[in-house]
Amino acid sequence: MKSILQMILVLSLLCGSAGFCLSYLKITTASRIESQALTFVQGPAILDVFKDAENSPIDDRRAFTLADGSSVNVFPCIRDGVLTGVAVERFGSGYGGDLGVVVGFNIREDTLAGIGITTMKETAGVGTRVKEPVFLRQFPGKSLPVKLRNQGGDIDAISGATVSSNGVMGAVERAAAVYEELKPLLLETWK
């Protein structure tokens, strides 16, 4: 009986203090981890889309709440003191799970400023070709809505990687919906 009590006591104490230490560490590192993740995962794609930004789109990001209650980070691009573009990250379903795409919009013309791939688990050498410039450079300047050629649009899908191409298009579509919804609010925020 005594040994059982001792076991219970020691294990509870150990697990309790482990949980306490970890939650403390998690809270203290949370904001730093978020900014690190944005810099190294979304950062390169965002900077690629907004090459001529005069601000830092990542540092100036704002979180907005959508009508369905979810929250989304919006990255602004400011030139000559005026908001010229915004970017959001959305996910489409690719061949190997979620496919993250940063989609940039020119806010004056309502056109795409460009897109960049952030995270994906596509088949190496097949689906991963959505990250190649040949595919990505079709997007800048396109007006909404954008569609693949076989759906009546003018974007060429990657042959052999239809699922991955559709995943990217799905993400672009979702980003466009967010953009349409938030546009008045965005213009208000960054005057």
Partner 1 sequence: MDRFLQELTKGLWKELPPFRLLLGLCPVLAVTKSASSGLGMGLAVLFVLTLSNAIISLVRGIIPSKVRIACFITISATLVVAVELLMQAYAYPLYLQLGIFVPLIVVNCIILGRAEAFAAKNPVHLAIADGLGMGLGFTMSLTFLGSIREILGAGTWFGHPVLWEGFQPFSVMVEAPGAFLCLGLILAAMNYGTHRQISRRNREAAAEAPSGCGGCQACSANRG
CB closer to partner 1, 13 vs 185: 13
Separation between Cα atoms, residue 30 and residue 149, nearest integer Å: 43
Backbone angles phi, psi at 12, to 5 degrees: -65, -45
| Closest CB 98 distance from partner 1, rounded Å | 16
CB closer to partner 1, 61 vs 142: 61
- By CB under 8 A, the count of residues binding partner 1 is 20
Residues 160-189 that bind partner 1 (CB under 8 A): none
Neighbours of 59 (CB within 10 A): 10
Q: In the sheet that 82-94 helps form, which strands lie side by side, from edge to edge? A: 62-65, 71-79, 82-94, 97-106, 111-117
| Closest CB 162 distance from partner 1, rounded Å | 28
CB closer to partner 1, 112 vs 117: 117
Q: Degrees (nearest 5) of the Cα angle 103, 174, 164?
A: 75
Residues 12-71 that bind partner 1 (CB under 8 A): 14-15, 18, 21-22, 25-26, 29, 32-33, 36-37, 39-41
Q: DSSP readout, 41-76? A: IIHHHHHHH-TT-SS-TTTT-EEEE-TTS-EEEEEE
Residues lying near partner 1 in the complex (CB under 8 A): 3, 6-7, 10-11, 14-15, 18, 21-22, 25-26, 29, 32-33, 36-37, 39-41
